A and B are shown apart, each in its own frame.
Chain A
Amino acid sequence: MQQTPTAPDAGATAPDPARRFERVGEPILSIRGLKTHFTMDEGVVRAVDGVSFDLHAGEVVGVVGESGCGKSITMKSVLRLVQKPGRIVAGEIIYRRPASGKHKALEVDLAKLPEAGRRIRQIRGGDIALIPQEPMASFSPLHSIGSQIVEAILLHQDVSKREAKEIAIEKLREVGMPSPEQRFDAYSWQLSGGLRQRAIIAMALSCNPAILVADEPTTAIDVTTQAQVLELLKQLQREHGSSIVFITHDLGVIAQLADHVVVMYLGRVMEQGPVHDIFHRPRHPYTRALLQSVPSLHAEPRIQLPTVAGSIPHPLQRPTGCPFHPRCPDAMPGRCDVAMPALYAAPGGSPVACFLHHDHEEADDG
């Protein structure tokens, strides 16, 4: 743990050049053409509208975008936690669990599993664990944090209550909870924000999941604590080689943690690729706009920080064509407002959905 914590984005707008992740073999999680729509009286909100990306074992994928662009709903769809009236209407979520110890290898399309069934429940928490957005409210205030962690362990591991308690205390120690034996019996509202987030992480790690989904885990806590929690996640990732999907709107966090970046806008993937490419050679105008809006220590002081022009359109009034075209500085009239660019990778490049880079249109399926 760092003694002098630094803000996650202070001068860290570029990723560490030493960090490279080589993708080999089959991904542990493949999302293909995922569409999650919310049918309401006012119309259909296409919260996730054709998202595809992969997560490889040991990799950290950062999903980035403004609020309301469908990042969280994408990952809730993976865990099958989308509440009515939301529904997965199309796409595949292939989870491939490598054989390990007592577990057999497994390949399953999570999108096809019954939402409340036993199989998805075994995967939730056991194989894919969630680190939620709001550590404040994610523990029940009426039960001690220890009992809630033990509950998770007993659901997925064949151990006695006493062993479960030992595992829970061990996990609490691992995430840097001071005096974990005493904190085991504490209630969440007795802990500070940072400690609560650590307890949540301990709970997520308690069943040694293959994939961690971190949904803006540092948004709700103060900057100092944010830095500590990020440091902790980095350290845990290094030690366990965890595969993490990290959802954030903070590019500084992405630069620190991610190997691969998925840029989302209005339920669609605009661009994705290795973190170095995204930061040094961003191709999509939206990615560029996002990067320009990050404050940097190297920039001249007191200049006005550029923002992404305009604001996210109302979910029920999606623009035609490319959803970003009304805000795009490079929009080509008659092209971008008419057809939807497909997420297409030119040979040797990474996928981008923009007519500036290719001519492939998305087949319009409504």
Chain B
Amino acid sequence: MHWFILKRLLVVPFMLFIFSIISFVLIQAPPGDFLTSYIAELTQGGSSVDQAQIDALRQTYGLDRPMVEQYFTWIGRMLQGDLGVSLEWNRANSELIGERLLLTLLLTTFSLLFTWAVAIPIGIISATRKYSLVDYVFTVLNYIGLATPNFLLALVLMWIAFDRFGLSVTGLFSPEFAQAPWSWARVADLMSHIWLPMIVLGVAGTAQIARVVRANLLDELGKPYSEMARAKGLPEWKLVLKYPTRVAIAPVVSTLGWYFPQLLSGGVVVSVVMSLPTIGPLLLRALVGQDMYLAGVIILLFSVLTVIGTLVSDILLAVLDPRIRMDGA
């Protein structure tokens, strides 16, 4: 097991290196650079642009250097913990990202846990009561959940919460806490706001995962080892949870790696609709404004999260399945 984890860990730096190159190429890909859009903005505002001034800026930001050199300057600074400066905001990227990243991670983790906590039991119930009324009800609900765009769900839930319960449900904080330093009261306030976006973000995934669990469990329930467990005299529910479910949730666990970034990017529209101070809208703006270093840092962070997610899912899979664990030993 230790060997298994160590081997996985050794791959991480290599993967991050690849991802950093891809991130950099991606943010460089659109024609022009930050200055092009900056000039366009200035010209639109009626100010004249001095070519000398532009050249000076270009030099300051190193934009006149070859790509490879720019990359190494950028990655070199990142390694020293300097995430660079946002060209658009004129503030340190770390400052811009800091709390947003924390809140985003929190919201994503909550959504994921919500999804699993709802989807896995639904999948198990549907599979063990195949073609029963319960199964059909869940199937219909699943399709509705899958087909409803989550920003629409966000709007509907916000309206219900506001209209019926008089709750202010935009953002993750009440106004008085939005800029306040961290305190227990602020955490409590966060918790009272986070559940709605958690549900909104989690619902689509719930439907998907419930289908996966149902299909896998149906396969496993027919396997001889399930019948053997029954022939031993094990009670049905205990048997289902102990044997086939453990196999059936493996695919769910293994998707953890890409589920994370999917939630991050999928949440952009929801974040805009619900004005959540998460990282999605920041990325969107950075991309529109060609604020390339900010965008680059965020994309790289997503990559890091993907790598971490994959690592966590690999370890969880190894815990679930001895064949994976021992293969690495």
Within 8 A of B (CB), among A159-196: 187, 189
With contacts A187-B322, A187-B323, A189-B323 taken as known, whether A138 is within 8 angstroms of B225 at the C-beta atoms is yes
- Whether the Cβ atoms of B225 and A121 lie closer than 8 Å is no
Instruction: Report Cα–Cα, A267/B224, bound state, in Å.
Output: 22
- Whether the Cβ atoms of A141 and B323 lie closer than 8 Å is yes
Instruction: Report Cα–Cα, A153/B320, bound state, in Å.
Output: 24
- Whether the Cβ atoms of B323 and A124 lie closer than 8 Å is no
Q: For B237, give the chain A residue with the smallest CB separation.
A: A116
With contacts A137-B224, A142-B246 taken as known, whether A132 is within 8 angstroms of B231 at the C-beta atoms is yes
B95 interfacial contact with A, CB 8 Å: no
A125 interfacial contact with B, CB 8 Å: yes
Convert B245-275 into 0s and 1s, putting 1 for each residue whose CB lies closer than 8 angstroms to a CB of A.
0110000000000000000000000000000
Within 8 A of A (CB), among B226-243: 227-236, 242-243
Q: Which residues of B contact A124 (CB under 8 A)?
A: 230-233
Q: Which residues of B contact A189 (CB under 8 A)?
A: 323
B64 interfacial contact with A, CB 8 Å: no
Instruction: Report Cα–Cα, A132/B232, bound state, in Å.
Output: 11
B223 interfacial contact with A, CB 8 Å: yes
- Whether the Cβ atoms of B223 and A137 lie closer than 8 Å is yes
Q: Which residues of B contact A151 (CB under 8 A)?
A: 232, 234
Q: Which residues of B contact A338 (CB under 8 A)?
A: none
A155 interfacial contact with B, CB 8 Å: yes
8 contacts between A and B (CB under 8 A): A81-B230, A124-B233, A126-B233, A130-B231, A132-B231, A140-B246, A155-B233, A156-B233
Nearest 4 Cβ contacts at the A-B interface: A125-B233, A125-B232, A130-B231, A124-B233
Q: Which residues of A contact B231 (CB under 8 A)?
A: 79, 81, 124-125, 129-130, 132
Tell me which of B228, B229, B235, B246 has the highest count of chain A C-beta atoms within 10 A of its own C-beta: B228
B69 interfacial contact with A, CB 8 Å: no
A122 interfacial contact with B, CB 8 Å: yes
Instruction: Report Cα–Cα, A123/B233, bound state, in Å.
Output: 7
- Whether the Cβ atoms of A137 and B233 lie closer than 8 Å is no
Instruction: Report Cα–Cα, A126/B231, bound state, in Å.
Output: 9
- Whether the Cβ atoms of B232 and A152 lie closer than 8 Å is yes
Q: Which residues of A contact B233 (CB under 8 A)?
A: 121-126, 152, 155-156
Min distance, Cβ B267 to any Cβ of chain A, angstroms: 34
Q: How many A-B residue pairs have CB under 8 A?
A: 72
A203 interfacial contact with B, CB 8 Å: yes
Q: Which residues of B contact A132 (CB under 8 A)?
A: 224, 227-228, 231
Count chain B residues whose beta carbon lies closer than 8 angstroms to a beta carbon of A: 22
Q: Which residues of B contact A144 (CB under 8 A)?
A: 322
Known: A140-B225, A152-B232. 12 other contacts (CB 8 A): A83-B222, A116-B236, A124-B231, A130-B228, A140-B243, A140-B247, A141-B247, A141-B321, A142-B247, A142-B320, A142-B322, A152-B233
Instruction: Report Cα–Cα, A139/B323, bound state, in Å.
Output: 14
A134 interfacial contact with B, CB 8 Å: yes
Q: For A190, give the chain B residue with the smallest CB separation.
A: B326
- Whether the Cβ atoms of B228 and A138 lie closer than 8 Å is yes
A133 interfacial contact with B, CB 8 Å: yes
Min distance, Cβ B243 to any Cβ of chain A, angstroms: 5
- Whether the Cβ atoms of A203 and B232 lie closer than 8 Å is yes
Instruction: Report Cα–Cα, A121/B235, bound state, in Å.
Output: 7
Q: For A129, give the chain B residue with the smallest CB separation.
A: B231
Instruction: Report Cα–Cα, A125/B225, bound state, in Å.
Output: 14
Q: Which residues of B contact A129 (CB under 8 A)?
A: 231
Q: Which residues of B contact A137 (CB under 8 A)?
A: 223-225
Min distance, Cβ A215 to any Cβ of chain B, angstroms: 10
Choose from B234, B242, B243, B322 the contact partner of A121 (Cβ within 8 Å): B234
Within 8 A of B (CB), among A60-86: 79, 81, 83
Min distance, Cβ A88 to any Cβ of chain B, angstroms: 16
- Whether the Cβ atoms of B321 and A142 lie closer than 8 Å is yes
Instruction: Report Cα–Cα, A95/B229, bound state, in Å.
Output: 21
Choose from B222, B224, B243, B322 the contact partner of A133 (Cβ within 8 Å): B224
Q: Which residues of B contact A200 (CB under 8 A)?
A: 228
Convert B128-169 into 0s and 1s, putting 1 for each residue whose CB lies closer than 8 angstroms to a CB of A.
000000000000000000000000000000000000000000
